[in-house]
């Protein structure tokens, strides 16, 4: 594998792996340790051990299973992201139940992968999260987008609206290019943001990019579709975020869903 050379991806990526199944934990550690830019700084067999070892080693990323003894991966994720804001959590689990997906995201997980993901997808996700991006497996992404649409529909009803809770570690800008079939994660599951009264109108080009972004397309895919340079698309995304006062790409997707509704 080629060493990641992004501006925030230089140096060794320090990982902690938490999984209660020894064969999976050790196999994953062996696979990832073979990469020249990855160092395994610890392994944990349950949620409490994951918290303890994360606090001791302060890894860049924790690869977290969800169903573990003593403390679940969701509890461990919440504790780790609260106490170590620079440490990011990538969920790697067998389960894609709606409640687990949204609890993990709200707890602060930066990515959610299923254990049938390919080695290339796991590596790409880890390096993307290290750059400040977020990823979802396709089946999980569909669940999240369905939830966005439900939130967008309910937001049309009269009554007080609550603002969106920002996903821990979510980026305000930056590319979300992904290796198929991974899908970029665009925001938290806490609900759609309220539209500020002073939102600047979007240009026709910005509206088009917002629609494509809401479909889960990466900057690279958007660039190919509307015949722009990838860097230009990245600048457009940042400008749209500024105009809509969005904190991350998920809030942009939620804005797009509200506009369509």
Predicted confidence (pLDDT) per residue in 96-128, tens digit: 666 677 778 778 888 888 888 888 888 888 988
pLDDT for residue 96: 63
In this structure, the strands spanning 61-64 and 38-44 are unpaired
Same domain, 178 and 194: yes
Q: Is 225 among the domain residues?
A: yes
Q: Is 249 among the domain residues?
A: yes
Distance (Å, rounded) from C-alpha 130 to C-alpha 59? 11
CATH number for the domain harbouring residue 39: 3.40.50.2300
pLDDT band at 257 (very low <50, low <70, confident <90, very high): low
Which residue did the predictor score with more confidence, 108 or 218?
A: 108
Distance (Å, rounded) from C-alpha 235 to C-alpha 117? 31
Tally of CA atoms within 13 A in the half-sphere of 107 that contains its CB: 23
Q: Is 7 among the domain residues?
A: no
Which residue did the predictor score with more confidence, 1 or 150?
A: 150
Same domain, 64 and 87: yes
pLDDT for residue 43: 94
Dump pLDDT digits (tens) for 39-89: 999 999 999 999 999 999 999 999 999 888 888 888 999 899 999 989 999
- The residue among 92, 113, 132 that closes a domain is 132
Same domain, 65 and 116: yes
Dump pLDDT digits (tens) for 128-157: 888 888 777 776 666 666 666 565 555 544
Which residue did the predictor score with more confidence, 65 or 241?
A: 65
Number of domains in the chain: 2
Dump pLDDT digits (tens) for 10-49: 588 999 999 998 888 888 899 988 989 999 999 999 999 9
Distance (Å, rounded) from C-alpha 179 to C-alpha 29? 22
Which residue did the predictor score with more confidence, 239 or 183?
A: 239
**Domain with 126 in it:** 13-132
E strand or H helix at 14 = strand 13-18
Three-state DSSP at 164 gives coil
Three-state DSSP at 215 gives coil
Residue pair 151/194 in contact by the 8 Å Cβ criterion: no
Same domain, 215 and 108: no
Phi and psi angles of residue 38, each rounded to the nearest 5 degrees, phi first: -125, 135
In order of 28, 76, 139, 147, 224, the CA distances from 134 in angstroms are 20, 19, 15, 18, 21
Same domain, 126 and 145: no
Which residue did the predictor score with more confidence, 250 or 180?
A: 250
Phi and psi angles of residue 119, each rounded to the nearest 5 degrees, phi first: -60, -40
pLDDT for residue 58: 95
pLDDT of 172 over the 50 cut: no
Same domain, 96 and 172: no
The tokens for 260 are: 């369509």
Distance (Å, rounded) from C-alpha 237 to C-alpha 9? 21
Asked whether the bond before 243 is cis by omega within 30 degrees of 0, the reply is: no
pLDDT for residue 258: 65
pLDDT for residue 143: 65
pLDDT of 207 over the 80 cut: yes
Mean pLDDT of the chain: 74
pLDDT of 226 over the 50 cut: yes
Q: Is 95 among the domain residues?
A: yes
Distance (Å, rounded) from C-alpha 257 to C-alpha 252? 9
Planar angle of CA 24, 30, 36, nearest 5 degrees: 140
The closest of 233, 255, 235, 258 to 246, measured between CA atoms, is 255
- The residue among 88, 107, 132 that closes a domain is 132
Q: Is 238 among the domain residues?
A: yes
pTM score: 0.57
Torsion of CA 231, 259, 104, 63, to 10 degrees: -10
- The residue among 132, 156, 178 that closes a domain is 132
Same domain, 185 and 249: yes
Residue pair 206/243 in contact by the 8 Å Cβ criterion: yes
The tokens for 137 are: 């497996």
Three-state DSSP at 113 gives strand
Same domain, 145 and 125: no
């Amino acid at each position: 594998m080629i060493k990641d050379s992004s501006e925030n991806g230089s140096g060794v990526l320090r990982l902690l792996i938490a999984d209660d199944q020894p064969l999976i934990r050790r196999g994953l550690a062996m696979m990832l340790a073979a990469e020249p830019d990855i160092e395994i700084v610890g392994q944990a067999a349950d949620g409490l051990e994951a918290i303890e070892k994360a606090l001791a080693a302060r890894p860049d990323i924790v690869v977290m299973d969800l169903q573990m003894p003593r403390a679940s991966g969701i509890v461990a994720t919440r504790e780790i992201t609260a106490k170590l804001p620079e440490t990011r959590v990538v969920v790697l689990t067998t389960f894609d139940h709606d409640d687990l997906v949204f609890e993990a995201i709200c707890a602060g997980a930066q990515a959610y992968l299923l254990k049938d993901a390919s080695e290339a997808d796991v590596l790409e996700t880890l390096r993307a999260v290290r750059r400040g991006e977020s990823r979802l497996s396709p089946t999980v992404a569909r669940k999240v987008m369905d939830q966005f649409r439900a939130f967008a529909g309910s937001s049309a009803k009269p009554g007080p609206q609550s603002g969106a809770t920002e996903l821990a570690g979510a980026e305000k800008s930056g590319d979300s290019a992904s290796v198929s079939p991974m899908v970029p994660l665009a925001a938290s599951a806490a609900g759609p943001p309220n539209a500020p009264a002073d939102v600047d109108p979007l240009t026709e080009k910005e509206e088009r990019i917002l629609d494509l972004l809401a479909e889960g397309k990466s900057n690279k895919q958007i660039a190919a579709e509307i015949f722009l340079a990838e860097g230009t698309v990245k600048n457009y995304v940042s400008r749209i975020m500024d105009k809509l006062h969005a904190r991350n790409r998920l809030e942009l997707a939620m804005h797009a869903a509200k506009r369509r509704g």
